[in-house]
Amino acid sequence: MYAHLPDPRLRQFVSHYWLSRNNSAPHFSVLPDGCVDLVLALHGGQWHALLYGTTTAPVTIALAPGHDYLGICFRPGQARHFFTAPAGALTNTALPAETLTRFPLSPLVEQIDEAEAGAVDVFQRLDNALLDQLRHDCPLPTRLDKALRQLSQPWEAPRCSRTAPPRQVATLAADTGISVRQLQRLFHEAVGVSPKTLSAIQRVRWTARQLAADTAHRISLAALACSAGYSDQSHMNRDCVRLLGVTPAHLRRPDVAFVQEPDPS
């Protein structure tokens, strides 16, 4: 599988692209990440596209052998600039994408077929299609984007001081200048989950990356829970099982990978 960062002008909207040629895997495991993904499946001159919303639990997606799969992973809340479907209608499900995109898919697929030999050419065509859409309908920053930026700040609280950026919904709403109810509505429409759920997803993903990087097991699970701002190690364990399907100790095993690409920002 090839993974690729988008054009710098797109990185506030798109996390990454990925491409799998001549797939041989029977399925793919998806973990919650707060993102909406556009996935194109191509085979024998035929294609279909699905728009996947964020999940709130681990999900296994069936794949077809011999197909090429191409994906765009949009950052939380940013798919709204490229699709007409509200993210809340996509949560824990997928919908046919062709009638939901703000940019034409058929010409893009034709260009991708022409670029079959080179992944870089494919990703360049994705850049061009998304940049054309932004030029056509230039998005302006909103209060939702301000709240999303706050939630995307690093999780770690130095020396267990609990000084990580505040993520209480009421505090987030006050800092953003809107009511809690309005913030909840905006997140449901644009992200597909509540601010509290997105915060939990981002924290558990940060925790999983720390465990993956700690190959020498230098940090204790209790210390990691403290650094991530969990109330205790049991709280961290519950969130890992609920959102990743495994315990933190399981994530330390050498044969276990964090399934999706880490945020390459």
Structure confidence by residue, pLDDT tens digits, 70-86: 999 999 999 999 999 99
Domain residue ranges in the chain: 2-136, 143-251
pLDDT at 189: 96
pLDDT at 265: 45
pLDDT digits (tens, 9 = 90+) for 198-251: 999 999 999 998 888 888 888 899 999 988 889 899 999 999 999 999 999 888
Q: Is the pLDDT of residue 145 over 90?
A: yes
pLDDT at 253: 67
Q: Taking the C-alpha atoms of 66, 72, 76 and 81 in order, what is their torsion angle to the nearest 10 degrees?
A: -130
Q: Is the pLDDT of residue 186 over 90?
A: yes
Summary mean pLDDT of the chain: 87
The structural architecture, per CATH, of the domain 143-251 is Orthogonal Bundle (1.10)
User: What percent of the chain is modeled with pLDDT above 70?
Assistant: 89
Residues 6+ apart with CB under 8 A from 82: 13, 38, 74, 101, 102, 103, 130, 133
| Average of per-residue pLDDT across 180-200 | 95
pLDDT at 240: 94
Confidence of residue 97 (pLDDT cuts 50, 70, 90): very high
User: What percent of the chain is modeled with pLDDT above 90?
Assistant: 63
pLDDT at 98: 93
Confidence of residue 152 (pLDDT cuts 50, 70, 90): confident
pLDDT at 156: 58
pLDDT at 167: 65
Q: Is the pLDDT of residue 56 over 80?
A: yes
| pTM for this prediction | 0.89
Q: Is the pLDDT of residue 258 over 70?
A: no
pLDDT at 159: 47
Q: Is the pLDDT of residue 35 over 90?
A: yes
Task: Using alpha carbons, select from 253, 263, 242 the residue that is nearest to residue 74.
Answer: 263
